[in-house]
Structures are given as structure tokens and as C-alpha cells.
Structure 1
Amino acid sequence: MISRVLLVDDDAHVREALGQTLALNDLVPTLAASFIEAKDHISAGFLGVILSDIRMPGKDGFHLLEYTQNIDPDLPVILLTGEGDVPMAVRGISAGAFDFIEKPCAPQDLVLAVQKALRTRSLVLENRRLKQQLEKGDAAERMLFGQSKPADELRNRVRIVAATNADVLIAGVTGSGTSKVAEVIHLLSNLAMSTFDKIAASELSVEALEGALAQAKDGSLFIDGIASMPPATQFALLQHMEQGTGARILAGTYKDLSEYVEHGRFNEELFFRLDVMRVRIPSLRERPEDIPVLFRNYVLLACEQAALPVPEITPEVIARLMAQEWPGNARALMNAAMRFAMGFAEVEVADDLGLAEQLSRVERSLLTEALRKYKGNASEVARVLKLPRKTLYDKLTRHGIRAEVYR
């Protein structure tokens, strides 16, 4: 968590005393005696909070609050008030101050108030980072989350496939996101400005297929769960693909189609037509280090859609996430994130993993979280986790984690 505090007070004795209190509690104070001194330290990306006296010569704490609000309205400002100045402090709260503390105050009260503000600031900055990540890059970068090697490989494969005009088979276990991958392929292709439609293959009639193909026209048609498509409809789809005109087919499957072909349940020619370009989506079991990344993004998206404040995602929550098997994959994780965002449920710990595997996943989570926070700086990660550098590198190697991915 960030720990910087910009402390502004014109009384040198008070300033030094409060600064020492903050420093003794592992906080990093920057001392300023006036508005003029303080404003040079304030920016939209300030990694900390502001603790300011209200009554100061020249421009007072209210001026500082107004200045801060104009630069970054989410930057927490805690106002220090003297006895009898509570009405003035309430005015500050109405103007956007995060909190106020009456002087003299107990050191523990001061520290608790500052720590609360710092947690809020950390959350705001993390959410901004996530939003920037969602807005940058191409559709693969914005929509297919993850920092693991399998996630990188998936995005690269999707880009390659999207650049062709070939029909595509998208294979993944239940809940892995075949529909999302299909949408990204469409958005990255030269058909992006055309229609993207979805249909379910189960009990799909020939007439319904023909209607869907006509609606998709020269765009892309995603057929979900193609293994369950009736034989007559399979044949009709094959005929469409043999013509080489009309909608591009993106077919999703949760089953091994080669086994279906072997047992006569899926048209062999159709299978080979689809299997020219294949995209395989890795399960969460194959990339558990992406669980915190996915969860954060899902929570952020859910809160944006519902216009809710983003709740704090503590290390304990991440540890619980990592200790689960997630047989429902990304869909199950998304559902958990939505419930968490709405405040309906805490993340529960499943008992389907042994203790050794749970501990291994928690360790992996702590490592990846630290690497993400310190942008892949192994020296900082070793310092924060209190590990010798060799031990850290041994652990990264054992878990298959690459520090450079986070830089």
C-alpha cells in the first residue's frame, strides 16, 4: 500500500511532532509550512494523501483543499482543526475533504485516519490503472485479460487468426470465454465494421441457420457449442462454407470434436473445414496467476455498469480466490466478481484443493501481486516480501512466473 503523506502546518513544533508520529508508524511524511510549499508536491497522480491544518497565514487549508480538488478531486485531504473549529471542519467536509481531525489528537487516531485515506487512495489509483489498461491497445489487449504466458500466447494467436479470412474453431472448456474470443477475432479482422451475430448450435434447425447466415451477411457468425448441432444443420453449414461466400464462421466448442467425428456424431468434412484455423483457450487451471487480474477487471466492470463504488480487494480476498479450483473458469470467476461488487457475498474458500496446493496458489498470488505492484522490480519485491534474492528467483522459477511480464 502507498504510504506517503504530505503534512502541511505552519507551526514548526506541531509539524515536526506529527511528522515523527507518522514516520514511527511506517508512513513517509513530506513536511510543508504553507500553501506555497505544499502545492509543488501535489499532482493528479500523487501517491499519497494530504494532511493539512486549516488555519495558516496567507492561503489556508481551504485554499489548499480547493487547489487539490481542481487538480485531482479523488486525492484525499484530511483537515486538522483546533478546538472550537469543528463547524469549520464540517464546512471542509462539504467542500470535499476526506476527513477532519481535531487537535490535539491521540497518535493512534491520527494514524488510523491517515491509513484509511491511504487505502482509499490506493484503490483509486489501482482503478485508474485498470481503466487505462482497458482503454489501451487493440481489442485483444482490452478484452482478453491476463499477464501470464498462456494469456500472451492466446492474444497473439487471436491476432494471427483474425488477420485471415478463414473460418475458425475456438476450443475451450466450459466457461472459458469462447464467445469473447470470437468477438475479439471479429473486431481485429477486416470485417470489424460488419455484423457480428451469435447463435447456439443446440437444436438449431436448418431454417434457423439460414436465417442467421442471412442476417450476418458479410460479417461474422459465432456458433456456440457446435458439437451439439443436429446432423442436417451440420450439412447445411458445410454447404455454406463450401460456397466460400457470406458470413465468416467462428465456431465454439467445449467438446473434443475429433472424438465426435470418430463416433459418427459430427460431420467429418465440416470438422476439417473448421479446423483449418484453431484457437485454444487456456483454462484457469493452466494460468492461476491471472486469477487476481481477471477478478479485478471483472469487479471494475461490474461497478462501472451498476454505478457503484469499487470495493477494496484485500490480499485476503485474493488468497481466497487463489485457493479455489474454479471448474467454471472465467465465467464462474466473473459471477463471483459481480457478487463481490454488489456486496452480496464474500469470496468463499472451496475445499476441493489439498492444503499443499492451496498454499502453493497463495504463494503464487503474493508473488504476482508484488511483481504487479512494483512493476517487475525483483529487488523491491524481495525487499517487501523479506526474501533473499536467490530465494525469490527460485520461487519464481518453481511457479513459472516471469518478472519481465510485469515491467
Structure 2
Amino acid sequence: MKRGIHFLLLLISFTAFAQQVNIDTTQVVIPGRQNTPEAQSKPYVIMISADGFRYDYARKYNAQNLLKLADNGIKAEAMIPSYPSITFPNHWSLITGLYPSHHGLIDNFFYDYKRKEAYAMSNKKNAEDGSWYGGTPLWGLAEKQGMVSASLMWVGSASDAGGIRPAYYYPYHEKFTPSEKVEKVVNWLKLPEDKRPHFISLYFPEADGSGHHFGPDTEETEKAVHLIDHAVGDLVKKVNDLGLKNVNFIFVSDHGMIKVDGGAPLEIPAVLFDKNRFDFYNSQTLLRVYVKNPDEVKAVYKELKASKTDDYEVYLDKRLPKYLHFATRDDRYSRIGQILLIPKAPKIFLEKGKKTSVGKHGYNPKVVPEMKATFLAWGPEFKNNLVIGEFANVNVYPLVAEILGLKIDQPIDGKLNVLKQTLKNKK
């Protein structure tokens, strides 16, 4: 097992963020933050994200700690990611209660034609610039209402999105091991009551890294699941040992994972390489097309539709199924594009000469069940031994706000009624 753990810790260095050099691992502490007397009496919520932790991983790989903890609390059959089922959009949906088209983070990489500027998740300047992010993240909601918060590597937590950062956070890096992250969370909870965070968000990348590089059905991914399971079990034990009252845990993921057909990728239609007429953005499981002359959109759509193969669909953005919340009517930031090419899993689009990974995500979770995510929860606020059906991930936000006693101060897509049944003394 040690050999597997060491390997996984090396594995995460392949991700985009880990390519940065001279990464600052110092905690940032915002001075002057403290809990109001009312906030000190509220429950605690520790929200844990395991990137790429597919809905069936805990059972599939016998994650003993997670299964046991969920048996004493809540487990969903699955949680439905927002579309596209990609990391940055879904982490921001979980933490704001908004669909990607409504909060603006519509992909890991995109171009904003109003700003005339590109966003890339691997660009530190982008990642820490809150003007890219719509909505009020949970840590911002808490801080504005006198409740101290903290975050360990959650998407956007090093930015001033929503106008305020967590009281305690770290610029994103992957230098900390899972056990080191556990210790940092425990140390936050050892702080004096007026300085102690009541909302903590925590991120683990290991399952996503192994799923991409080796696929979801491999020994490496099983080891990654066990690594996370061990860390969560250790965290819960150490937090319980502190003797704090009313500490609640929510374990989620952003999306699932599927092995793709990288050996026979789909060709991108040749017409789209005319840079005078088009820009296209290829995440391999979704290809977004921006037509520079709006008068050409319908004609280009018909051309692409007529020449497509059975392995993918072509949509005018405004005609995308309503339940995906990713059409023109939803696109508040005009970042999506007018035409979408959507491959049928396990097919992907791939430019000639470029490489792909073994495992991918991004597909429609309603069509590709392997995209579905995990939701587990336990603690004094939650009912015991309750299994619930599938639900959209935007509904986690109002659930956390309800537990913490926070007033949601702007419209969101999530609804408290969807998950209210999971709470004790709530109908």
C-alpha cells in the first residue's frame, strides 16, 4: 500500500497546476476576521470534494470509512453534475448554487469576447481574479454574515469572487499530502472560538489524476480511492477527538470518469480550422464553436449537421436540451458559443498530433451515467441511515446555508426543498 500511495503522490504532479514552479505554500490569513457571538453558536460544516470520485467508487472499491460514515448519515444514489461535467465549472456550481452558464465558469478554458481575454484554469492570474466568477461562494456568504471560513484548494478560494475571500486559505498547489491537509483542517478547528472557522472547504485531486492517467477501472484508481478514504477517516477521528459540538461533514465530487476511445478519435470538421471565420474550443468531450459572423451561424450549422457522423451530435446552442441549462437563453456571460459538437461516449474529438488521457469526463450525465458524482453526509444535523435519490449538485449550496443559519442574499438555481429531507427536525 505504501508503494501505491507514494506513486499516487507523484502522479498528481502531472496536472496543470503542478506544472507551475516556485509555488507558494504559505497560508494566507486575512486580519481582523472573527465570529460574531451568534456565529459562535452555529454548527460547523466541513465540505470535502474528491475530484473525479465517481458515484460508484465508494462501493466499487470498498471505501470502508466512507461507507461506514454514510451508513450513519446520508448517501445519495448519485449526484448529477452540472453540464459540462468538468472540474472548474462544477466546483463553482457546488460552492455557489448556480449552473455554469449562470456563474460564468463554463469550462476549464474559455474566451470572453466582451473582455477580449482568455481564462485558463492553469493561469494563476485568472484563477485568483474574482471578476471571472459570478455568484457568492459559501465562504463569502459566511464571512459577510460574521462567520469565519477557511478553504484548502477549492476552486476560486484564492480569489476575491463575491467580494470577499475566506479568512484562511492557500493559493492552489498540490504539494500537500492528504494527511497534511487533514492536519491543517484540525489545526483550524483548534483555534479560539472567535477565530475558529465554521465553514471549511477541502479538496482532494487524487482520484481524478488516477482516473485520467490510467482509467476508472484500474488498480491505480482503487489505490487513490483508498488514499482519500483513509484521509477522511483520519479527519473524522481527529475532529471527534477535539470534542466540538455539532460538526457536520459533506463529501462530494464534481463529476465521474469513463475510459474513452483515444485510439480512434473523431476528426474535427475541416471547415472549423478557418480562423478568419471561426474559433473553436475543444475539451475533447465537448467542442464549442464561435462563429465570427453571426449571419453565418445557421448556414454553418446546416453544413456541420449534414456532414456529421453517427458518433456525435451537432446543436445550435439555443436548441440544446433545456435541462442542461447551457443554451443561449442561459448564457449570462456570452462565453459558450453558438454551435456545439457533442461526441457520443466513449468518443472524443482530438486534433491531429495531440494526445489525450485514458479517462475523461465532460459528457452529459443524463446520457452517460459514468459522469455521475458522489454525495455523502453525516453529523448531528443529518438524519441517520437515509438513502436519497439522484439530485442536481446546485442544491448543495442552500443545504449548507441552512445548516449554518446563513441567509442567501441573491438568486441561486439550487432549492432547499430538494435536500431538506436529509436534515433532522426538518420536513
* RCO comparison, higher one (Cα < 8 Å, 6+): 2
Larger-Rg structure: 1
Q: Which has the higher helix share?
A: 1
* Fold match (TM-score > 0.5): no
Give the number of the structure whose residues are more often strand, by fraction: 2
TM-score category (smaller protein): under 0.3
TM-score after normalising by structure 1:
0.25
With normalisation by structure 2, the TM-score equals 0.24
